[in-house]
Amino acid sequence: MPTEPLSRGRIVAAAIDLIEREGADAVSMRRIAAELGVGVMSLYNHVPSKDALLDGVAEAVLSEIEFTDEPGAHWTDRVRMQARAFRQIAHHYPRSTMLVVSRQLHSTAGLLPVERALATLRSAGFDGADAVRMLRMFIAYIVGSLLREVGVTPSFAPVHPRTIEAEGVDPALFPEVSSLAPLLDECDHEAEFEFGLELLIQAAVAHASRREGTR
C-alpha cells in the first residue's frame, strides 16, 4: 500500500489536528512527523521551517471562514454576519485561533475578508479613510473577543476558568469586584460578543448619520 505522499497540505492538517487535540505546546516537528508516520526531516521537503508551518496553519484556519455574503441585505446585517463568521473560528479551532491572532501573517490569506468588509463599509457610505478606521475598530474588537474566549489554555488546563474572583478577594479593597464576582466568573461568550457587536454597529450607524449631517 503506497502511503499517500507527504505534502504541505497533509502536514498543515496534521499540525492543526495536533494543536486542537493537545494544545499549541505539543507541536514540534518530531511530534508531527510521528503523527504522520514519517521521518522528521522529510517535513522539510515541503515546509521551509517550523515558523512557516505555523504561518500555514494560520492561513488554513483563516481560509476556512465561511463568508455567506448577501449583497442585498442592509449593510448593518452584512457587517453582523461577517463579524460572526470571523468569530466562528473560535468554535471550530479554539486552540489554533491563538496562533491566528498572535502572528501577523504576511500572506494574502486574510485579504478576502478585508476586501469584503471594505466593500460593505463603502456601500454604507463611508469614505475610504472612515471605512479603514471602521474596519480596524471592528477587527480590534473581534480579535480581543477571540482572545478572551480562547484564553491560552496552555495544554490541559482543567477548563475550569478559575473562580478567583469569588474567593480570594478582599471586599474592602475591591468592593465592586467582589460584589460582582458571580457576573465576572461566568461568561457567555456568545452573548458577550453579540452585546459588544451590537453596540459597535450602532456606534457605526451614529457615525455614519453624523457624517451625513455635516455633508
DSSP class of residue 6 equals: P
Nearer to DNA (CB atom), residue 45 or residue 179 = 45
- Looking at 5, 104, 159, 212, which residue binds a copy of itself (CB under 8 A)? 104
Binding of residue 48 to a copy of itself (CB under 8 A): no
The one of DNA, a copy of itself, none whose footprint includes residue 30, by CB under 5 to 8 A per kind, is DNA
CB atoms within 10 A of CB 50: 15
- d(CA 42, CA 34) in angstroms, rounded, equals 11
DSSP class of residue 25 equals: G
Residues 43-72 that bind DNA (CB under 7 A): 44-46, 49-51
Binding of residue 65 to a copy of itself (CB under 8 A): no
DSSP class of residue 5 equals: P
Helix axes 94-102, 50-63, angle to 10 degrees: 110
Contact 11, 53 (CB under 8 A): yes
The one of DNA, a copy of itself, none whose footprint includes residue 183, by CB under 5 to 8 A per kind, is a copy of itself
Nearest to 75 by CA among 131, 128, 129: 131
Instruction: Quote the Cα angle for 78-198-133, to 5°.
Output: 70
- Looking at 40, 52, 73, 203, which residue binds a copy of itself (CB under 8 A)? 203
Nearest to 92 by CA among 53, 66, 55: 66
Binding of residue 214 to a copy of itself (CB under 8 A): no
Binding site for a copy of itself (CB under 8 A): 51, 98, 101-104, 106, 108, 111-112, 114-115, 118-119, 122, 128-129, 131-133, 136-137, 139-145, 147-148, 151-152, 154, 162, 164, 168-169, 173-177, 179-180, 183-184, 187, 192, 195-196, 199-200, 202-204, 206-207
Q: Enumerate binding residues for DNA (CB under 7 A).
A: 5-6, 27-31, 38-42, 44-46, 49-51
